[in-house]
Amino acid sequence: MLAAGIEAEPGEEALYRLNRLSQELWPGFAAALETASGIAVDYRGEGTLAIALTRDDVAQLRFHFDFQRSLGVALEWLSGAEARRREPHLHPGLAAAVFSPHDHQVDNRRLVTALRRAFLAAGGALHEHAPVSAVEIAGGRVTAVRVGESRHAADVVVLAAGAWSTEIAGLPRAALPPVRPIKGQMLALRMDPAAPLLRHVVWAPRAYLVPRRDGRLIVGATTEERGFDSALTAGGVFALLEGVWRALPGVEELAIDEMWVGFRPGSRDDAPLLGPSAVDGLVLATGHHRNGILLTPATADALSRFILRGELDAAIRPFAIDRFAAPLKEEA
Amino acid sequence: MGGTTGDTADALSIADRGFASRLLLGTAGYPNQQMMLDALAAAEPALVTVAIRRISLEPYAESLVDLVGGRYSLLPNTAGCATVRDAVLTAHLAREALGTSWIKLELIGDRETLYPDVEQLLRATEELVKDGFTVLPYCNDDPVTCRKLADLGAAAVMPLGSPIGTGLGIINPYAIERICTTSPVPVILDAGIGTASDAAQAMELGCDGVLLNTAVAKAHDPRRMARAMRLAVAAGREARLAGRIPKRSQAEPSSPQLGLVGG
C-alpha cells in the first residue's frame, strides 16, 4: 500500500508530509523502474476505501475523517450505497465509506524483483543470503562491511537492515538506530483474476484488503509487540479471517494461498531514521515501519543526493537519529 | 475537616503504598510509542498498566517494558485471560518478568460487552491473594461484588464506568457512589471514561482514583487529553473534598438582595 492519507495519525504531521512527497514520486519511479528492469510492478491507481460496517464504525470513521481532512488529506465521504456501487461485493450492510483517491498500491514482491534486476543491470554487485557480521569502524569513520569471512572495504555504508538494524555488530551505541521489530501476521487468498471480488484497497474495521493484479487478495495485519516471535497464531489468523469476512462475505469461497509473519522496523515515533549517523560514512535508512515501500522513492532520492553531493534534503531533516538523543522526560 | 490542601497531603494509598497521583493510565492503542511517552509525561500517572499477554516479556531494546519500566511503576494486567487458570498463570509470569506482585485482574466473560466474569473473578482473587499478590480486580459496578472482592483480600476494587472502549462515561452513577460509600478498600473507576468531565465526575462521586486508556490514546491530541485527565482527576478530587452544595429546586441569588444600603 502506498497510503499517505488514509493512514495518517495524530502527532505524525511531519511523517505525513514525507509520505505525501514520496507518494507523488511513485508513478514516475514505477515507470522508470519498469523501463530499467523490464518487469511490471503492478502499480494500481484505483485508490483506497475505508469502510464502516456498524453505527459505531461510522462514528470512528467520521472521527478519523475529520482529523485527516484537517491535515489537508483529499478524502471523499460516501454513503454505503455509493461505496457498494464502486465495490459491489462489499457487505450489503455497509454503513458508510471514505474514498482516498491518492492512496494507491504496488506489488511489493514484484517491486523487489524489479529493483534487483535494475540494480544488477546498472552494474551493482549484490551479495544475497549473506548476513552482515559486522561494520568496521576506525577513527570514527566507517571502513568496511564484514560478510562472513570476507571484508568489503567501503567509505560509505547505508544501514538499511529493517527490524534487524540494531543487531549489526560493531556499531557504537550512539549510532545504533532505536528500532524494534513489530510483528505482523498476514495471509493471501486467491481470487479469479478475471473476476476479482475487489479492485480498490479496502480498510475494514478489523483488517485491510489489497487486491493484486494476479488475483491474490492480501489480508493484513496484526500489530504485535512480541520481539522476533515468528509464530502464526490461531488468534491472529482468526482475527484476520473474521475481519475480511465481515467486510467481504464472498471470501468464504476463496482458497488460502499463503500465511506468513513479517517484522516492521518500528522507531519510537513510527517515522524513519534517515541520513547521517554518529559515525562518519555510516548513513541510516531504517525504521520505515509500515511505510517502507511508500517511502522507497523519497528515501532513495534524498540519500543518494546526500551520499553523492553532500546535500541534506530539507524533506528528511526531521528524521535524523538525533531526535531521539535527548533523554526522555522523567516522571514528575 | 482540617485544612488539608495540596496533592502531597492527599495521597492515594493502596495496600500501604502512597501515590501522589490518582490517575492510572494504560499503554495500548497510541499512534506511536513517542506519543505514549509524551502522554505519560503529561498525565503523571500513579501507575501504568501493561497487558502481559499482549507483549513479549523477553527484554529487548525499545520494547514497551524497556521504554516505560524504568520511569514509571508498572501495573501488569491479565487482559486476554478468560479462565482462572490463565489469569493466575499470567500473574505469575508478570511477577517473574517485571518484579512486581501487583496485578490488575481482568477476567472477561463475554467478548461482545467485555463484562467481567464475576464467578471466576472471585475465585482468581482468592487464589492470587493466597499466593501473595496485591490484587486489583476489574469488576462490575455492583456494590455486592465489590464488597465480596474486598472481603477476599483485594487491595482495591475497580468497577467499570461503562463497557471497555465505549467512552460512554459513568452510566450508573448511583452504583458507583454506593460502592464508594460502602467499600472498605480504595475504589478506582476503570473503563468507559470518554472525556475529562467523566474523570472529574468519578472523583466527585467519591472514587479514590481513575484508570483510563482509550480516551487518551485515541484522542486527536493524546498529549493534551492526558493533561486534561490529570487536571480533571485533581479537580474532581478537590471538589469532593470541598463538599458540594445541596441541589435546590428554587433559584437563590448568590449575593443578598435585602438590606442593601441605598437598595
**Per-residue model confidence as pLDDT tens digits over B190-237:** 999 999 999 999 999 999 999 999 999 999 999 999 999 999 999 999
Residue that is written with C-alpha cell 482475527 in the block: A239
* pLDDT per position as a tens digit, A121-135: 999 999 999 999 999
Of B32, B219, B221, the CB nearest to A269: B32
Average pLDDT, chain A: 93
pLDDT of A233 strictly over 90: yes
Of the candidate ranges A136-150, A175-189, B61-75, B197-211, the one whose mean pLDDT is the lowest = B61-75
Q: How far is A68 from chain B (nearest CA, A)?
A: 10
H/E run at residue A234: helix A234-247
For residues B141 and B173, give the distance between their C-alpha atoms in angstroms, rounded to a whole number.
9
Q: How far is CA A252 from CA A91, A97, A191, A244, A319, in A?
A: 13, 23, 11, 10, 43
CB neighbour list of residue B168: distance below 8 Å, 6 or more residues apart = B161, B162, B192, B194
Q: Do A12 and B219 touch (CB under 8 A)?
A: no
Q: How far is CA A266 from CA A164, A278, A284, B182, in A?
A: 10, 20, 14, 47
* pLDDT per position as a tens digit, B41-61: 999 999 999 888 887 777 788
Which whole number is the average pLDDT over A17-38?
A: 96
Q: Do B34 and A268 touch (CB under 8 A)?
A: yes
For residues A66 and A89, give the distance between their C-alpha atoms in angstroms, rounded to a whole number.
27
Cell of B157: 476494587
pLDDT of B258 strictly over 80: no
E strand map for chain B: 12-14, 17-19, 23-26, 47-51, 74-77, 102-105, 134-139, 158-159, 188-190, 209-212
Residues of B in contact with A176 (CB under 8 A): 61
Q: Do B56 and A12 touch (CB under 8 A)?
A: no
Q: Do A328 and B37 touch (CB under 8 A)?
A: yes
Own/partner contacts of B115-118, CB < 8 Å, gap of 24 or more, are B115/B140, B115/B160, B115/B163, B116/B140, B116/B160, B117/B82, B118/B142, B118/B145
- B18-242 is classed in which CATH architecture? Alpha-Beta Barrel (3.20)
**Contact yes or no for A4/A16 (Cβ under 8 A):** yes
More confident residue, A293 or A326: A293
Angle of helix B173-182 relative to helix B143-151, nearest 10 degrees, comes to 30
- Which is nearest to B46 in space by CA: B192, B211, B236, B178? B211
Work out the pLDDT band at B82, boundaries 50, 70, 90.
confident
Nearest-Cα residue of chain A relative to residue B56: A226
CB atoms closer than 10 angstroms to residue B63: 20
- pLDDT for B170 equals 97
Please give the angle made by the CA atoms of A147, A152 and A155, to the nearest 5 degrees.
125
Q: How many CA atoms lie within 13 A of A328 on its CB side?
A: 22
Backbone angles phi, psi at A138, to 5 degrees: -140, 130
Q: Do B37 and A268 touch (CB under 8 A)?
A: yes
Work out the pLDDT band at A43, boundaries 50, 70, 90.
very high
Q: How far is A124 from chain B (nearest CA, A)?
A: 34
3-state secondary structure of B22: coil
Which whole number is the average pLDDT over B105-129?
A: 93
Cell of A257: 494461498
Work out the pLDDT band at A287, boundaries 50, 70, 90.
very high
H/E run at residue A273: strand A273-276
pLDDT of A307 strictly over 90: yes
Residues of A with CB under 8 A from a CB of B: 9-12, 63, 67, 166, 176, 178-180, 224-227, 229, 266-270, 328-332
Q: What are the domain boundaries of chain B? A: 18-242
Q: Do B55 and A330 touch (CB under 8 A)?
A: no
pLDDT of A139 strictly over 80: yes
Residues of A in contact with B55 (CB under 8 A): 225-226
By the CB < 8 Å criterion, does B219 face chain A? Answer: yes
Work out the pLDDT band at A330, boundaries 50, 70, 90.
very low
For residues B140 and B158, give the distance between their C-alpha atoms in angstroms, rounded to a whole number.
8
- pLDDT for B58 equals 77
Q: Which of A15, A168, A331 to mutate to test binding with chain B, by most B CBs within 10 Å of its CB?
A: A331
Average pLDDT, chain B: 90
pLDDT of A174 strictly over 90: no
**Contact yes or no for A232/A260 (Cβ under 8 A):** yes
3-state secondary structure of A321: helix
H/E run at residue A113: helix A108-121
Q: Do A10 and B35 touch (CB under 8 A)?
A: yes
* pLDDT per position as a tens digit, A270-282: 999 999 999 999 9
In this prediction the pTM is 0.84
For residues A181 and A223, give the distance between their C-alpha atoms in angstroms, rounded to a whole number.
10
pLDDT of A32 strictly over 70: yes
* pLDDT per position as a tens digit, B149-188: 999 999 999 999 999 989 999 999 999 999 999 999 999 9
Q: Provide, rounded to the nearest whole percent, the portion of chain A with pLDDT above 90.
A: 88
Which positions of B are catalytic?
104
Q: Do B35 and A328 touch (CB under 8 A)?
A: no
- pLDDT for A329 equals 42
- pLDDT for B36 equals 94
Of A227, A328, A330, the CB nearest to B60: A227
* A and B: number of Cβ contacts within 8 A: 76
In terms of average pLDDT, the best of A161-170, A245-254, B239-248 is A245-254
For residues B219 and B237, give the distance between their C-alpha atoms in angstroms, rounded to a whole number.
23
More confident residue, B65 or A63: A63
- pLDDT for B1 equals 38
Of B55, B67, B71, the CB nearest to A226: B55
**Contact yes or no for B125/B135 (Cβ under 8 A):** yes
Residues of B in contact with A178 (CB under 8 A): 61-62
